[in-house]
Structure 1
Amino acid sequence: MTDAPQAAEKPAFQLKSSTVSLMALELAYFDDDSFEAALREKIRQAPGFFKDMPIIVSLDHYEGPTGELDFFKLLGICRRHNIHVVGVRGGNDDQRRLARHAALAILPDSGRQDREPAAPDTAEPEAATPAPAGPAPFRVISQPVRSGQQIVAPDGDLIILAPVQAGAEVLAAGNIHVYGPLRGRALAGVHGLESARVFCQSLEAELVSIAGHYKISEDLQESGWKTAVQVQLRDDLLVVTPLERS
């Protein structure tokens, strides 16, 4: 007897919904020499963080000429440094056409939706009834986050009741709370929430990021190292302050 008939009936794949948080590279203009020099400097600051990283290119704030936007050159530079561009967000029709020619996925603009103008209405507007506010979403992890693991809270806070080991990565749309040593990488406010914070009982992190602004281990050791702290964003700078103990 053989299992070939049963194997033939089994589908080759299934499509399932999945939430993946991606780092966005916000492009202001593109010049291949200056772009590669800036990329090298970022990688020098945190080499382990960028290796084999998938990213999207955000054109939400792009100010350079479209004719200079060579996605093939940009992709080649990123690949030389083991960074993989998987898609483009925002941009105009010409820029999205160039991205499609480079076989990149097209993502919708962040925080913007195309809307048709509303027809004029002479009737008195009805007062909107606010929906009752529910509890903010959060995710709780009770086991240690080991090296090589990635834990994501895509819609709210991430609460970890155990250590985050070196080589691990934790990401949240909101705040990150670590009730133990934080030795890996913590990225809060991954969708751009600048008010997000990172709390931990012992700061020993490889990297901490809030809304795309980050500090690596060498910078973090200057204040609050191996103590209970909170990290927050003030004037585009990450600030580390001690947690008050009662």
Structure 2
Amino acid sequence: MSNTPIELKGSSFTLSVVHLHDAKPEVIRQALQDKIAQAPAFLKHAPVVVNVSDLQAPINWRQLQQAVASTGLRIVGISGCKDEQLKAEIDRAGLPLLTEGKEKAPRPAPQEAAPPPPPVEQTVTPLTKTRLIDLPVRSGQRIYAPNCDLIVTNHVSAGAELIADGNIHVYGMMRGRALAGASGDREAQIFCTHLTAELVSIAGVYWLSDKLPAEFYGKAARLRLAENALTIEPLN
């Protein structure tokens, strides 16, 4: 046991970032309520970072903060703020100003434009990105795969949360929460090799653990929506 009353350790968390494109509090409140209604199971009381880089002064920060907080979201930080007066207001509100990684330097303009290549008649299939997690997902971790599928090749502990706008695949013990189709995609599916989840959700339609059919508990299973209801079948 350490002799000091506290200990500082580095860690990392996955947080959703709310990008504000309008400074009107009522517009923001309604837009957030509509988004939360799509997936209330995991957005309720969710911690978020608010990005204000697209907002133009003047901004009534107090009203804007109240609009976001009134939807149940928990603001843990502000990013993208460049206006000094707004920075001061955010600081007085007791919220930290965050930096979302390094900004990319602008590319230099080419001195001479290269001639366009001759047209080629072919069919191009767009690539779909997939987020791949090889390490165990610990309790308290939240992993989000925006606009793509999420694949976890290890165990997911109770209290952990997987969120994807596309499908979710778990090739290990699944004890936490899996929320596929987070942006409203009703075609999304969940695939598990060992299903003991606390919660499964597709496009906001969810089951808690006590709703999982007993014959599928701990088994390999596939979940999807059929006629606006969750269905489950063996994963062959």
Does residue 1:240 correspond to 2:232, yes or no? yes
Judging changes above 3 Å, is the alpha-carbon distance between structure 1 residues 204 and 234 closer, same or farther for their aligned structure 2 residues? same
Residue number in structure 2 paired with 1:52: 45
Does residue 1:211 correspond to 2:207, yes or no? no
Residues 47-100 of structure 1, C-alpha deviations (whole Å, 9 max, x = no match)? xx6773259xxxxxxxxxxxxxxxx9xx76x6xxxx3388xxxxxxxxxxxxxx
Does residue 1:198 correspond to 2:223, yes or no? no
- The normalised TM-score by structure 1 is 0.51
Distance, in Å, in 2 between the alignment partners of 1:135 and 1:219 is: 36
Higher relative contact order (CA 8 A, sep 6+): 2
- Residue 84 (structure 1) aligned to one of 65, 73, 96: 73
Correspondence 1:1-246 to 2 at 5 A = 24-26=35-37, 52-53=45-46, 83-84=72-73, 132-244=124-236
Judging changes above 3 Å, is the alpha-carbon distance between structure 1 residues 156 and 50 closer, same or farther for their aligned structure 2 residues? closer
Distance, in Å, in 1 between the alignment partners of 2:45 and 2:122 is: 45
Residues 83-141 of structure 1, C-alpha deviations (whole Å, 9 max, x = no match)? 3388xxxxxxxxxxxxxxxxxxxxxxxxxxxxxxxxxxxxxxxxxx8872222110110
- Large movers: runs of 4+ above 6 Å: 20-23
Judging changes above 3 Å, is the alpha-carbon distance between structure 1 residues 136 and 51 closer, same or farther for their aligned structure 2 residues? closer
The residue type equivalent to 1:217 in the other structure is S
Residue segments in structure 2 that go unaligned for 5+ positions in a row: 1-15, 20-31, 49-65, 76-120
Tell me the CA shift for residue 191 of structure 1.
Answer: 1.0
Q: Identity of counterpart residues, as a percentage?
A: 43
Aligned residues: 145
- The normalised TM-score by structure 2 is 0.53
